[in-house]
Chain A
Amino acid sequence: MLTTGFKLWFGFFVAAFSAAVFAGYTSGATETGPISLGWKGGVGNHVTYVLFVVAAAVFGLLGIVAVAFRDADSESVAEVLGVDTPPPAQTQVGSSIWPVLGALGVATLVVGLVVSSALFVVGLLILVAVSLEWTMTNWSERATGDPEVNSELRERLLRPVEIPILALAGIGVLVLAMSRVLLASSVNGAVLVAGAVGVCVFGAAFVFSRRPNISRRLVSTTLILSCVAVLVAGIVAAATGEREFHQQGGGSGGGHVEVDG
């Protein structure tokens, strides 16, 4: 039985090859050249002809692959998944953060092209991460016929990668932001800021630990808002610049640094 995918690619194959023959005969082809791939006669404009023939070959190959692997064939899908009835062709998908993150990645990359190469790299990294996550999510949704098993599969594969990377990235960004804030503050100010942040972290942890029934949303909102506050403070501090440092002493190892109080 011919699968839907095969029919689509075969249609493209016929269209591309017909276009090649048409382009050949309207650009000076002779005898049966365009039909016989140049075996008997000329093919006309070589560039156009070759482009269309290559396109036809690619479409034809995709058609063969589609039919060979029973692409979109419901009975084959049911057999592979080990279920009696094939799952619906169009499955409902839940909410997903990847589309908006992917778009943010594209936007960062685009703005980075104009503003700075560092931003471009950040955009590229976001896009790579989103592509991986999105691909794995899509794969896991069709891995078996059981949605719960599929979800577990995804968690088992991606969580060991996601958590350390996100933790590293989060810690790195927070440390960088805090260091910018401390470097931008005066000597005494930096001590005050570090102390205040430490007290806040300790206080919040104490409150959360004393109230185990506190809602997860409140905890996550508090954490997100705190991280955003540190991030914004870091960006502002980076834009403001570091306080002045004065290098004293002559040699490479003997000098020491004095700072403006």
Chain B
Amino acid sequence: MTETAADTTRTGDDVPTALEAAVTTTDHLRIGRAWIASGVLFLVASLVAGLLVSLERMDLSGMAVFGDADSLFRFWSAYRVGIVLLAVVPVVIGLATAVAPLQVGASSVVFPRAAAFGFWVWALGAAITVAGFLIDGGLGTPGGTSRTDAVALTLLGLLMVIGGICCATVCILTTIVVGRTAGMTLSRVPLFVWSVLVAGSIWLVTLPVLAANAVLIYVDLASRSAVAFGAEDTIWEQLSWAFSHPQVYAFALPLVGIAGDIVPVAARRRHGSHQALLVLTALLGVLSFGAYAQAAFDVGTPIREQAIFVVEAFLVVPLVLLVLFGLVDTLWRGAGSRRTRMPAPLYLSVLSVLFLLAGTVLGALRAVAPLDLLERSTTGAQFTFTIGAALLAAMAGTLWWGDLIVGRVAPQGFGLASALAVAVGVELVAVSDMISGFMGLADFTGGDLSGAGYPGSGVNVLNTVAFVGSVHLLIGALGWLVTGVVRFKGARSLGDTWGGHTLEWTTETVEVTSESPLLDAAVEVGA
């Protein structure tokens, strides 16, 4: 553990209480834990919102749960914003804050106080955002049943969330760039570090654009009589680009790194070509840049009908396929030397890449204009597959590095069961939404019931299946939460749980001489 000196050398009255330590810490492991714990809590909250929306969609002929379309939309958008910016991204940041510095041989994250600041800004911003959604604000139309001041509060909370994420990302990226130990060139860094570097760079160039969208809407909202951009009437239209293809891939990108670090250790074989996986990850990052795809500002040919959008959608698929082949190749070559009982995170990480592949295939299909899927529930299916993939990978990551981050052991079986519940949930929700989308069901069904789709065609049955999937998702998330709580009461970890001899498990600074992230000792084991 890398507790800071000031955290460990105090005695008597100077020893901080648990609350003081939690509030004032600058230790990267503690900050990482705080990100992960908060992310899981907000995940549960987001999934409750998603569950209510699924319940409402089971009967398209009326508004049994929410009463009006505005309220339904508030929860529908809260689910999408929450699961990305309040759950998946924070958990990934938590993993990166805790693990990435150790993986590059740094003793801590660079700018530890700024890293703590990033977390607190995000946490308070998330609380304000949720409060905004709950007091009839959210991202709904202010002219409807939404309160203008509550909508403004939601937007400002969202700005804080984005600010916190960017601040934490800057700290992590700086650590990766300047905090590496001797010999750890960028071409040698572990895949998780590389994927965070690529994804974080994309976040840093796209999330400020999302913040700018929010500022534009806020200005329009706050000074309605003086300024009128018309932004306040199309809030979701301006923000939705961040939660659909291709930007959504940027949030899921670290899953490639998580899977890329788990597979070789589990298979006891280095990747066939570490460099190729680095290049593929970088290319995926470039293709996931989505700040340009803002349909709200279309002039002339709609952006989603332009060549760049369509080509990008199709190019992503072979790249993810190649990543999958790379991982399967490593597993295949390591078939003779790998352990008899495969670790739970291995299954989850490979499954997450498969889900990402499904998401990219759906993304490519959405871009085919004659299929007319852009506004259908296939959008939701693609979102569920992609973010579900990231969620599974994050769960795999917490199971893989949890012993290191917390210093205590958790029951892997229970963690695996929780993650499988999430996987089943993702599958049920995404597949039913995908089929409903092909049958004509709209992505958001509350605005105009007549335009929601074809209730008589069987989408009600599919929506029931999606509801069952949402229940699975919630159960899985609660299971994840329980796994984390149980871990804090578990036995002390003895270190290097998986026997991979990777840098993050070592307790002293080492000079890296290997061309691959797995150190030489691991190769000897596998040879």
Contacts and interface: CB of A to CB of B under 8 A. Distances in A.
B156 A110 contact: yes
Interface residues of B, number: 41
A111 interface: yes
Contacts of B113: 93, 96, 98-99, 134
B445 interface: no
B13 A215 contact: yes
A103 B13 contact: no
A4 interface: yes
Given A90-B108, A111-B128, A103 B6 contact: no
Contacts of B178: 4
Interface centre among A93, A96, A103, A106 (most CB of B within 10 A): A103
A7 B107 CA distance: 24
27 contacts: A90-B110, A92-B4, A93-B4, A93-B6, A93-B26, A95-B7, A95-B20, A95-B24, A95-B26, A96-B26, A98-B113, A99-B26, A99-B114, A100-B23, A100-B24, A100-B116, A103-B121, A106-B121, A106-B163, A110-B125, A110-B128, A110-B156, A113-B156, A113-B222, A114-B152, A114-B156, A134-B113
A83 interface: no
B421 interface: no
Interface in B91-139: 106-108, 110, 112-114, 116-117, 119-121, 123-125, 128
B117 A99 contact: yes
Interface string A107-139: 100110111000000000000000000100000
A207 interface: no
A114 B24 contact: no
Contacts of A95: 4, 6-7, 16, 20-21, 24-26
Contacts of B222: 113
B5 interface: yes
A94 B116 contact: no
A42 interface: no
A111 B149 CA distance: 10
Given A93-B4, A93-B26, A95-B26, 20 more contacts: A4-B178, A90-B179, A92-B5, A92-B108, A93-B112, A94-B7, A97-B24, A98-B113, A99-B117, A99-B119, A103-B121, A103-B123, A106-B160, A107-B125, A107-B128, A110-B125, A110-B156, A110-B159, A111-B128, A114-B149
B24 A92 contact: no
A159 interface: no
Interface string B16-33: 110011011110000000
Contacts of A4: 178
B13 A102 contact: no
A50 interface: no
Interface centre among B20, B121, B149, B222 (most CB of A within 10 A): B121
Which secondary structure characterizes the binding site on chain B? helix
B120 A96 contact: no
B345 interface: no
Given A90-B107, A114-B149, A103 B4 contact: no
Nearest to B23: A100
A102 B116 CA distance: 10
Contact of B120 (A100, A110, A113, A115): A100
A92 B107 contact: yes
Nearest to A137: B113
Interface string A206-227: 0000000001110000000000
A97 B116 CA distance: 10
Contacts of B404: none
A104 interface: yes
Interface of B: 4-7, 13, 16-17, 20-21, 23-26, 106-108, 110, 112-114, 116-117, 119-121, 123-125, 128, 149, 152-153, 156-157, 159-160, 163-164, 178-179, 222
B124 A92 contact: no
Given A90-B179, A114-B149, A134-B113, A107 B25 contact: no
Contacts of B152: 113-114
- How large, as a class, is the contact surface on chain A? 20 to 34
A210 B116 CA distance: 41
Interface centre among B17, B20, B26, B114 (most CB of A within 10 A): B26
Contacts of B6: 92-95
A90 B106 contact: yes
Contacts of A107: 121, 124-125, 128, 160
A93 B179 CA distance: 15
A222 to B, nearest CB: 14
Q: Which 8 A-B pairs have the closest CB atoms?
A: A94-B6, A103-B120, A99-B116, A99-B117, A95-B24, A107-B124, A110-B156, A216-B13
A102 B24 CA distance: 12
A37 B112 CA distance: 42
Contacts of B112: 93
A36 B221 CA distance: 46
A94 B4 contact: yes
A90 B26 CA distance: 13
Given A93-B26, A95-B24, A97-B24, A110 B106 contact: no
A64 to B, nearest CB: 20
A102 B113 CA distance: 11
Contacts of A103: 117, 120-121, 123-124, 164
A42 B107 CA distance: 52
Contacts of A134: 113
Nearest to A107: B124
A6 B222 CA distance: 43
A93 B123 CA distance: 22
